[in-house]
Chains A and B, each alone.
Chain A
Amino acid sequence: MEHIRTTKVEQVKLLDRFSTSNKSLTGTLYLTATHLLFIDAHQKETWILHHHIASVEKLALTTSGCPLVIQCKNFRTVHFIVPRERDCHDIYNSLLQLSKQAKYEDLYAFSYNPKQNDAERLRGWELIDLAEEYKRMGVPNSNWQLSDANREYKICETYPRELYVPRIASKPIIVGSSKFRSKGRFPVLSYYHQSKEAAICRCSQPLSGFSARCLEDEHLLQAISKANPANRYMYVMDTRPRHRVQSWWATQKDIGRIIVRISSKIWNDEKIRESDEKKRLNAMANRAAGKGYENEDNYSNIRFQFVGIENIHVMRSSLQKLLEVNGTKGLSVNDFYSGLESSGWLRHIKAVMDAAIFLAKAIAAESASVLVHCSDGWDRTSQVCSLGSLLLDPYYRTIRGFMVLIEKDWISFGHKFSERCGHLDGDPKEVSPVFTQFLECVWHLTEQFPQAFEFNEAFLLQIHEHIHSCQFGNFIGNCQKEREELKLKEKTYSLWPFLLDDQKKYLNPLYSSQSQKSAVLEPNTVSFNFKFWRNMYHQFDRTLHPRQSVFNIIMNMNEQNKQLEKDIKDLESAGLLLVGSQVRRP
């Protein structure tokens, strides 16, 4: 490898991040093509994948050597002291190069070889089949059908080939609508609730020309509402905060399709401001359109809802602040909580959760279909759609179901994993912890409903590990089209079969498929329910964790119980045999 100048440095010290007494381990640092490896005097190995490295910093030379601080995307922070500055400099430069690849082909997944043959590899990729999943939901059916409009990625490059739309929506309507929506991301089905006959649909924002109106788009929305025989009202949820989309809001008024009718109590406090603003914006919109009033027929069956999730840039800096605070040595309780507050992180998590609850309630309580969008419809929309489905459908709370959910709402609908995770050396402004937030919301749900999920925290952490690791092909690229072009299915492996093989590690021993089987989860989002996720953001800082894990004990016991059950069977049959042989013997 051309980037590696030094492969081995001895007498390197690894400092304990939180120890006030500057405890350290001495060992040897190795640099391989894929990993940085530290082996301490007790032969304990610390492996750091180059792709996990978010930043490398060389601090000012000290008497004991040259400090090298590495921050990882999986929230590991390591602090080395390299005796000689030249070695430190070499490693620093190599890591800078190795952690930021310019081409997809240089990512780990393209060289990772788990010793499987091509057939096994292909079977791995076929493990999750989205067509199967839509069939499970009950589509196609009399109201929803598979559209071939995007079969060649002609209408929308960032959508998958196979899209489900209302049966009455014709191809011209779809094409027309896609031209009206940002990046061509027209409204399509994300989740169909079979018993309520209601749908979760997703799209991007309309292109806001000042007096723009798109009849095809309006038709498509009407088609979605008509595809729901249970309730002709539908919600349009804009997941963005209202103040960020006011201009767009005005346009919506202008085309006269939207009415604000807040039905859910959780939005009560917003109600008053809402009506004032509505008046003002109405006036503005009407003036712009040169119309005196809105035609009620046009918007009477749509209810409009803002839910206020901030954009990727706000989320990025929020996480950054959070990490700065909790990385402080000798942190006081007050600094921790004021840092937690000022980072806004838990506020954002709560916003995502509240949005998902609104969505789930609309479907479960009102049987109303919901169209969710944000700006491009691949960040906040993915969060809300997937979390909403998770609240509604117990299948997504199983290990396999959760994989399906990620494949569907995140991978296939074009959440830009490579950009958001910074897989390649690209625009740092595109990086954002959107998917991490989704995982954190799921974690909060597992905390409130400890028996509702088949998987455990380790499963969430492992998935988080691999969205950044680039060891498997699933999360490489930004959309399905790009993934096909990269020939990921031929050149890389899928993560899911590996997780399934290791399933034992990820099972929740308390899972009860009966107790909350068909239940819609109704989490409590009063602020005190949201806690700092220590096991994520400090997963490598063992000193901060409980010294004994109830979870592991119960998990092992569950395993042991299975073994014991088997033993009992064996013993009983052995006993029977023995008795039988004694009886037979005269």
Chain B
Amino acid sequence: MPSLLPHDLCHERNASPAPGNPVPVIPNNVSDKILLLPHTHTHKSLIVSSSKQLLAVYPENSLLCRSSCLVGSASCVFSPGPIWEELRATDKQQFRPGAGRIGQREDELKVPRFVGPLGTIIIKCKDFRIIQLDIPGMEECLNIASSIEALSTLDSITLMYPFFYRPMFEVIEDGWHSFLPEQEFELYSSAISEWRLSYVNKEFSVCPSYPPAVIVPKAIDDDALRKVATFRHGGRFPVLSYYHKKNGMVIMRSGQPLTGTNGRRCKEDEKLINATLRAGKRGYIIDTRPLNIAQQARAKGGGFEQEAHYPQWRRIHKSIDRYHILQESLIKLVESCNDQTQNMDRWLSKLEASNWLTHIKEILTTACLAAQCLDREGASILIHGTEGTDSTLQVTSLAQIILEPRSRTIRGFEALIEREWLQAGHPFQQRCAQSAYCNSKQKWESPVFLLFLDCVWQILRQFPCSFEFNENFLIMLFEHAYASQFGTFLGNNESERCKLKLQQKTMSLWSWVNRPSELSKFTNPLFEANNLVIWPSVAPQSLQLWEGIFLRWNRSSKYLDEAYEEMVNIIEYNKELQAKVNLLRRQLAELETEDGVQESP
């Protein structure tokens, strides 16, 4: 089989993720060549007769790895030409050939049950879906398998799908320019007297994981920033993350201070941090690590702020887990969600053992604490863990969800992700390289962003009317963070993205999302702007497993989807009726005045 390069395969229909698990059933037909058997027991097996149908039965929500396999099958089993034509004619297909990543691919060859050898390929996707392809013909099966293997483990980022993707939609607004730091800073107009936009990192020389423009206290000049950068992990000097308009208090974030074992200190760092406090005010430093871990970090040159050197600041330690602990948690959780046969006791004990909801609780608790310091205590805060690229961002961004109504709108949430995750240097490329089916214990993979989205979902569930977006929006972001035709989540920081020239070579996710036709799918029909601070409950009884993500492929959501539609209908109908009543009232009033005019003479 000829090896397929991604650019041969760039025939793209509009990608349109939708919720649920719509698996149209095609009647069984034994003469067909490809059997597609969803791995779960809840669905009947699907048999499809051509690659067109194979694509057609594919549920719309697929991650790249899936389509890679389709590429293989289409090219080796069927003649590609006319099929592509037909594909273009069919609407609403999710077909994303190209460079995806499969969590773990498993090839099994089975003894055939009927004539001819039958190969089975099990594909485990990064969105937790498992599909099984039964392919007649051993050789074909092996070819397909090796194609999938090759396409899903590309070495170079530039071979990945976003670099070959050609949008079929009209770009109304270029997402690469939707959330510029300058615009974001202007939103903080009331802060302008105390803060400034610094371009000290213009060449990414001061901090490789920071964007070129950052917001810092006005009183601190760029030279001082350079000095502070040498005192903070990864050069991540304290920058403004959030300005609380209500009382002028702020959230700052940074990397850990490099105090080391001999208690190194940095006058500029102390000055910078103190410069953010108003006279007589105290602040809190929230270290996302427990005290003992922070102490251990000193041996490696890291550490934490000594209270003696920062007398106006109180340090609080929390314990948000990192890296492989979170990854293992995700692996365990997904494994147990995929097991349909376990009894109740086993399910509950595995759910507990996965610790996923414990992580959720811990992150939310810390975010609430940060928000509380700001809003209730009227104190500014500095948040960091070790690098300041993971748990730190979870806390700063969730605190904003709690405090800032704008971050609960679609645009505001996009801006939040752009600011607090992408520009703040969360290493998406490393963290999202593999998902729940990965067995290789690489240190870098971790569902940090998924945990953040899960926390947002928990708050959304508790305040279902306070968010402009719905659950589908969060699911969509999860999918695109792990595999996407858009360049937005490629690379680990702004510096890498610049080098890759993503703005020139790829399409931004926001360009696609922010079109009215897409936005309508992600809009929460219940949204009513709520200008209050929203305090979520973090009691275990209030937290729930995010079924939309974790049980999505394991059960039918037909009835729930229908109920959701009905709810939307009621809301739409209500709007319609209100409009009609208003119209009639107006007309009646007009008639009455006419009447009055006629009568008066």
Contacts and interface: CB of A to CB of B under 8 A. Distances in A.
B343 A527 contact: yes
A568 B342 contact: no
Interface stretch (A4-12, A372-380, A545-553): A545-553
Contacts of A578: 588, 591-592, 595
Contact of B577 (A344, A452, A568, A581): A568
Contacts of A565: 577
A341 B570 contact: no
Contacts of A585: 598
Contacts of B587: 575
A549 B466 CA distance: 11
A98 interface: no
A547 B574 contact: no
B36 to A, nearest CB: 22
Contacts of B551: 528
Nearest to B573: A561
Contacts of B352: 333-334, 337-338, 341
A418 B516 CA distance: 60
A19 to B, nearest CB: 11
A538 to B, nearest CB: 6
B356 to A, nearest CB: 9
Nearest to B562: A451
Q: Which residue of A336, A338, A346, A543 has the most chain B CB atoms within 10 A of its CB atom?
A: A336
B114 interface: no
Contacts of A564: 574, 577-578, 580-581
A579 interface: yes
Interface in A566-586: 567-568, 571-572, 574-575, 578-579, 581-582, 585
User: How many residues of A sit at the interface, in one of the four size bands?
Assistant: 35 or more
Contacts of A350: 344
Given A524-B555, A568-B580, A337 B351 contact: yes
A345 to B, nearest CB: 9
B476 to A, nearest CB: 21
A527 B595 contact: no
B583 to A, nearest CB: 9
Contact of B42 (A448, A524, A548, A572): A524
B155 interface: no
Interface in A304-351: 326, 331-338, 340-341, 344, 346-347, 350
A459 interface: no
Interface in A16-67: 18
A544 interface: yes
B581 A510 contact: no
Contact of B464 (A347, A550, A568): A550
A578 B349 CA distance: 71
Interface string B551-585: 10011100110110011001101100110110011
Contacts of A346: 344, 348
Given A561-B570, A578-B588, A585-B598, A548 B343 contact: no
Interface stretch (B248-256, B285-293, B409-417, B536-544): B536-544
Interface string A553-569: 11001101100110110
Nearest to B545: A528
Interface string A436-452: 00000000000011111
A571 B577 contact: no
A337 B540 contact: yes
Contact of B570 (A344, A546, A557, A581): A557
Given A333-B352, A547-B462, A550-B567, A528 B347 contact: yes
A547 B537 CA distance: 9
Contacts of B573: 561
Given A341-B349, A578-B591, A527 B559 contact: no
Interface in B447-473: 461-466
Interface residues of B, number: 61
A374 to B, nearest CB: 21
A333 B348 contact: no
Q: Does more than half of chain A's interface fall in helix, strand or loop, or is it mixed?
A: helix
A531 B355 CA distance: 17
A215 B112 CA distance: 55
B66 to A, nearest CB: 24
B559 A448 contact: yes
Interface string A521-541: 000101111111010001000
Given A561-B573, A578-B588, A510 B566 contact: yes
Contact of B541 (A534, A567, A582): A534
Contacts of B342: 527
Contacts of B555: 524, 526, 528-529
B537 A571 contact: no
B544 A544 contact: no
B594 interface: yes
Contacts of B360: 333
A83 interface: no
Given A544-B542, A568-B584, A579 B464 contact: no
A544 B560 contact: no
A561 B595 contact: no
A557 B574 contact: yes
B361 interface: yes
Interface in B322-353: 337, 340, 342-349, 351-352
A571 B567 contact: no
A582 B567 CA distance: 42
A336 B541 CA distance: 8
B581 A554 contact: no
A575 B545 CA distance: 54
A346 B562 CA distance: 27
A245 B543 CA distance: 40
A85 B554 CA distance: 57
B461 to A, nearest CB: 6
B395 to A, nearest CB: 18
B526 interface: yes
A337 B348 contact: yes
B591 A579 contact: yes
A515 interface: yes
Nearest to A555: B570
A557 B570 CA distance: 7
A450 B581 contact: no
B357 interface: yes
A548 B349 contact: no
B357 A333 contact: yes
Contact of B540 (A331, A528, A531): A331
Given A524-B42, A526-B555, A553-B465, A543 B584 contact: no
Nearest to A562: B577
A528 B344 CA distance: 8
Contacts of A509: 567, 570
A569 to B, nearest CB: 10
A64 B269 CA distance: 47
Contacts of B543: 333
A510 B352 CA distance: 33
B523 interface: no
A468 to B, nearest CB: 22
A182 B352 CA distance: 43
A555 to B, nearest CB: 10
Among all A-B residue pairs, the 5 with the closest Cβ atoms:
A337-B352, A336-B540, A527-B347, A450-B563, A341-B348
24 contacts: A335-B540, A337-B352, A341-B345, A346-B344, A451-B562, A451-B563, A451-B566, A526-B555, A528-B337, A528-B551, A544-B541, A547-B534, A549-B464, A550-B567, A553-B526, A564-B581, A568-B580, A568-B584, A572-B584, A575-B588, A578-B592, A582-B591, A582-B595, A585-B598
Given A449-B559, A548-B462, 12 more contacts: A341-B345, A450-B563, A512-B566, A515-B562, A524-B42, A527-B347, A528-B347, A543-B537, A546-B461, A574-B588, A581-B595, A582-B595
Interface of A: 18, 326, 331-338, 340-341, 344, 346-347, 350, 448-452, 509-510, 512, 515, 524, 526-532, 534, 538, 543-550, 553-554, 557-558, 560-561, 564-565, 567-568, 571-572, 574-575, 578-579, 581-582, 585
